[in-house]
Copies of this chain bind each other. A is one copy, B any other.
Amino acid sequence: MEHHFEPNRYYNSFGSFEPVLTIASGDCVFTSTLDAFGHGRDGSLVATPGNPLTGPFLIEDAEPGDQLVVYLEMISPNRDHGFTFSSIAPHIVDGSFVPELPTRDLTRWDVNVDAGIATLIDQKAEPHELTIPIAPMVGCIGVAPSGGQAISTATSGRYGGNMDYRHIATGATVLLPVLTAGALFFIGDGHAVQGEGEVVGTGIEISMDVAFTVQLRKQVNSRWPRMETATHLIALGNARPLDQALQHATTELVRWLCSDHDYDVRGASHLLGQALEYDIGNVFDPAFTVAAKMSKKHLYR
């Protein structure tokens, strides 16, 4: 079943709030998301700044222990401009370099979705002009955390959250552990593009038209968000420091290879030792995000 859902309230936390829509496994939802500052498709402020989320969507029959499969059918900017900050965050450079960082200004980019590019004119920067290809993605995706918690969209955890991982994009499948009855799925914080690490604290923050299809897998023992793309299995770990995020992601990938792909831990070690790949989602948010990846071409069949 297809749903066309126009949001009219937004949340700044992932939590067990009143669902905006109830959907079933197999359903597809067409909706939209605001930018991180609360602006919508026409640029006007319609929600509290700080990654306001669209949702929660209640998935019928979802129970803790299930896995929520989310096919990202479309993540596409629905306006012609976005915003970034102008300075790398101080904790991402050497302490001795911090005094050389510029001021942290909000800066506007023109975004041309048809041409697939974003352009910045910043008279204070050298060079003044910068044009780069776009690669739309969402920073925030997840379900309600366990135990009735409501956790700010600034951060992330086992439930997903503000992972700011640039491969959460059209065509990717995100697999989330269900932690509460109904799962309560949220999405938001679109970026026209974002560098690895989100080192300035933003991608090009923009409102989006999004479409996703959900599917429920009963009683899948996953502990962290996972993804599947055309080429890779990906396990996501969210924590500070980066070392711990990497431990979570690596462990989750080993567990996945062992539970679903006929490896034991020794076999998975051999494979990962020589073929593992890592991406860094963000090193800006309270919890950092690391992706541990395995190319499907290496998988045992």
Residues of A within 8 A of B (CB): 12-13, 15, 50, 84-102, 107, 118, 120, 122, 124-127, 130, 132, 146-152, 193-200, 202-204, 239-244, 246-248, 250-251, 254-255, 262-280, 283, 298, 300
Chain B neighbourhood of A251, CB < 8 A: 93-94, 97
- Can you list 15 A-B contacts (CB < 8 A)? A12-B147, A13-B149, A88-B254, A88-B272, A91-B247, A92-B250, A102-B269, A118-B274, A122-B266, A126-B263, A126-B267, A127-B267, A194-B274, A199-B250, A239-B240
* Nearest CB of chain B from residue A254's CB, rounded to whole Å: 7
Given contacts A50-B147, A88-B273, A127-B263, 7 further A-B contacts (CB under 8 A): A91-B95, A130-B270, A147-B152, A193-B274, A195-B276, A240-B244, A241-B243
Give chain B residues whose Cβ lies under 8 Å from the Cβ of A130. 267, 270-271, 300
A247 to B283, CA, bound (A): 10
In the bound complex, residues from chain B placing their C-beta under 8 Å from that of A127 are 262-263, 267, 300
Chain B's closest residue to A202 (CB) is B273
* Cβ contacts under 8 Å, A269 to chain B: 86-88, 101-102, 199-200
Q: Is the CB of A122 within 8 A of B84?
A: no
User: Do B266 and A84 touch (CB < 8 A)?
Assistant: no
A195 pairs with B84, CB closer than 8 A: no
**A15 CB to nearest chain B CB (Å):** 7
User: Which residue of B has the minimal Cβ distance to A87?
Assistant: B269
Complex Cα–Cα for A246 and B204 (A): 22
Contact among B95, B149, B151 for A89, CB-based, below 8 A: B95
Residue in chain B with minimal CB distance to A194: B274
Residues of chain B within 8 A (CB-CB) of A198 are: 273
